Amino acid sequence: MKKTKYTVMSAMLLIFSCANTGAGNNNNIDPSLFKGIDAAAHNGNYQEAVNDFDANKNKLYTMNSVILYELDAGILNHYAGNHDASIEFLREAERHIEEAYTKSISKREASGFAGDNLLEYESEDFEDIYVNLFNALNYYHKDKIESAVVEARRINEKLAFLENKYSVSSKEMQARAGQGDNIDYVSSKFANSALGRYLGVLFHRASGNENGVRVDYDWLKAAFNNAPEIYDFPIPSTASGEIAVPRGMARLNVIGFSGLSPVKKAAVVQQQLYDEGNYVSAAVSVLEPRPSLVNRIEIKFDNGQTVKLEKLENLEAVYNETYKKKFNLVLIRTLLRNSIMKTGLNLDKVDVRSSRFFPAWAWVTGINLNPGTYSFVINYYDSGNQVIHSVKMDNVDVKEGRLNLAEAYCLK
């Protein structure tokens, strides 16, 4: 009997795709229901988006999409500056994600190979990772620096866990498939978040932990050196200035987020078998990017001084890289389902649920200033050098010896 080998990503051929928009007898929700919320968020009216979201949440999420609701609510409330609410939503999302992971294997087997969209939403890995990013920022705004340090550390702890998680899951799936060692496990290129390390540097500096600053800065540089596929741009030129601030000066840090994370769509893929040249087909979910208009970000102070933000992390690349690991196992499971249950290429059973409001890019800068009060505008530009969004910061008190961190968002 010939053995086959699934070389999952390298041989994948996308031959057909369509968005799954019917709520019907599954948990997938029509994305057009988010139209008003999306419009408000895109225009920077985040509290309006939260209000619309709260008023329509029962239409937008099913009983099996609690995690998804908590993720979207947590991120939208962060954008709106509702940090207490954001903390609680994201805490609950993280707790439910951990619970769902412990139950996931038995739940999937109990489903009798029914569509994955009938199951409880378990979250994608990138959602779990960046929950801690936004809670770290929430805690900073609540002046809880030690809690912010813990959240930033959790980002990279989870990345280390994921590598082991999928290595074990791959071996378990091999055993179910009867394939021995013939199914490839592809190690992730993303094992260290520059954004997480950058926040670690800032928070350690704020708490006076000089050793923590040096350690996270070294890991920040390592992220760029070790993962050029993710970090295919230079390390920010201002990053080295975060290690220490000159005596008598204050440092203003600005993080600008842009764009939106990919969403899922249903697709039929063809997978080539390793030793035969034949193809088998499967209906699965793939990530569909949402292109951003943002080309650059610049700060303009009231005195005329301008400072550019530089790219720090391509969150969209991280989403795609971490999704590959789960996609491998989902594809194998789907092929097994097709062979056992003869379910065919049923796009209606594909789970296309995804969070909607995580950003696609993070940009940063750090500026040494004389302590004082400053007003400035953070301008987002498109490729035609037109300002497409502005965030006004009035009377910002920039103090010596503390972390002065401003955030801005443009989801266009």
Per-residue pLDDT tens over the stretch 141-167 = 999 999 999 999 999 899 887 766 655
Inform me whether the pLDDT recorded for 17 exceeds 70. Answer: no
User: For the segment 251-287, what is each residue's pLDDT rounded down to a tens digit?
Assistant: 999 999 999 999 999 988 877 655 555 677 788 889 9
- Residue 276: the pLDDT is 58
Extents of the domains making up the chain:
13-246+261-287+322-353
pLDDT, one tens digit per residue, over 299-329 is 999 999 999 999 999 999 999 988 887 777 7
Q: What percent of the chain has pLDDT over 70?
A: 78
What number of other Cβ atoms are within 10 A of residue 379's Cβ? 21
Q: What is the pLDDT of residue 93?
A: 97
pLDDT band for 109, please (50, 70, 90 cuts): very low
| pLDDT at residue number 181 | 42
pLDDT band, very low/low/confident/very high, at 13 (cuts 50, 70, 90): very low
Q: Which pLDDT score is estimated for 2?
A: 37
Stronger pLDDT, 137 or 274, i.e. the higher one = 137
Q: Which pLDDT tens digit goes with each residue over 197-217?
A: 999 999 999 999 999 999 999
User: pLDDT at position 3, please?
Assistant: 38
Name the architecture of domain 13-246+261-287+322-353. Answer: Alpha Horseshoe (1.25)
CA distance 405 to 318: 24
pLDDT, tens digit, 9 for 90 and up, residues 366-380: 999 999 999 999 999
Global pTM reads 0.86
- At 32-86, the pLDDT tens digits run 899 999 999 999 999 999 999 999 999 999 999 999 999 999 999 999 999 999 9
